[in-house]
Amino acid sequence: MSDREDDQTVDTVEIREVVGIVYNHNALEEMATQLVAAGVDRNDISLMADWNTVIEKLGLTYPDPGAVVDNPETPRRRLTTRDEHATVTGTVFGTLIATGALAAGVPIIASGGAIPLALAACTAGGGIGAMLAKLVRKNLLTRDDADAIEHDINRGGIAVFVRVDNADEEQRAIDIMRRNGAHNVHAHTITLRKELSDLPLANVQPDPWLADD
């Protein structure tokens, strides 16, 4: 571990998880849907990071998912599905309508800086809702996440990690992943480092005027 990596590490955690390799985007999304329906917390499903990051981090010469599934140093990313942007947008607008913010033009997100000025510059009603939805989507999701996942699947497959809490959940995860065409499905116990970048809101820019478009 480098000094830089050691400085970024805030904790280590030993977890049990089911892993596998997926070569089809539709199969990945169907698998994720079935896992959640079977009781797996969506936040317990993660993917390896993009291939460029993984290759650089692990020193690989070419995309090889078999070399990353059991490596604790493999960088990871959250699962993002293609319908997630629509879901988040609908939730934001539904909340705004329910609280009357759209009609009254009252901002419900207050974080100081330039946000109040930005909201004041918006037209009343839908303008505020549109801006808040954009801010929330920008902080919670990357627009191209799902497309990037599909690109990495086509490039060489992608490793999927499903954290499990007990033997029954482990077997259900194994069955679902195999049923949806995942390869090299197996369970392992692994020790992962928690880094500063993993903390909630660590990468959120509270002032939209300081963030890149």
From 124, 141, 158, the end of a domain falls on 141
Q: Specify whether 134 is located in the same domain as 31.
A: no
Spatial separation of the C-alpha atoms in residues 165 and 187, rounded to whole Å: 12
Per DSSP, the chain holds a count of helices (H) and strands (E) of: 9, 5
How does residue 70 score in pLDDT terms, banded at 50, 70 and 90?
A: very high
Q: Specify whether 47 is located in the same domain as 68.
A: yes
Helix axes 51-58, 145-156, angle to 10 degrees: 60
Q: Specify whether 76 is located in the same domain as 93.
A: no
Spatial separation of the C-alpha atoms in residues 141 and 130, rounded to whole Å: 16
In a domain, residue 210? The reply is no
Instruction: Report the share of the chain in percent with pLDDT over 90.
Output: 46
Which range, 44-53, 74-83, 97-106, 186-195, has the best average confidence (pLDDT)? 44-53
Sequence-distant (6+) residues with CB within 8 A of 111 are 206, 207
From 125, 141, 157, the end of a domain falls on 141
In a domain, residue 107? The reply is yes
Q: Which residues on neighbouring strands pair with residue 17, listed in sequence order? A: 163, 188
Q: Specify whether 88 is located in the same domain as 121.
A: yes
First to last CA, the chain: 34
Q: Is the pLDDT of residue 98 over 50?
A: yes
Q: Mind spelling out the 3-state secondary structure of 75-101? A: CEEECCCCCHHHHHHHHHHHHHHHHCH
In a domain, residue 203? The reply is no
Q: Mind spelling out the 3-state secondary structure of 124-162? A: CCHHHHHHHHHHHHHHHCCCCHHHHHHHHHHHHCEEEEE
How high is the pLDDT of residue 119? Answer: 47
How high is the pLDDT of residue 20? Answer: 97
Q: Specify whether 129 is located in the same domain as 150.
A: no
Q: Which residue range forms the structural domain that includes residue 122?
A: 84-141
Q: Specify whether 158 is located in the same domain as 137.
A: no
Q: Specify whether 16 is located in the same domain as 44.
A: yes
Spatial separation of the C-alpha atoms in residues 134 and 140, rounded to whole Å: 10
Q: pTM for the complete prediction? A: 0.65
More confident call, 146 vs 49: 49
The count of domains in the chain is 2
> 69: domain CATH number?
3.30.70
Sequence-distant (6+) residues with CB within 8 A of 128 are 96, 101, 102, 105, 106, 107, 119, 122
Q: Is the pLDDT of residue 187 over 50?
A: yes
In a domain, residue 150? The reply is yes
Q: What pLDDT, in 10s, does the model give residues 127-165?
A: 555 555 555 544 444 445 778 899 999 999 999 999 999
Q: Specify whether 62 is located in the same domain as 110.
A: no
From 141, 171, 189, the end of a domain falls on 141
Amino acid, single-letter form, for residue 170 = E
What's the burial of 86, exposed, middle or buried (CB within 10 Å: 0-12/13-18/19+)?
A: exposed
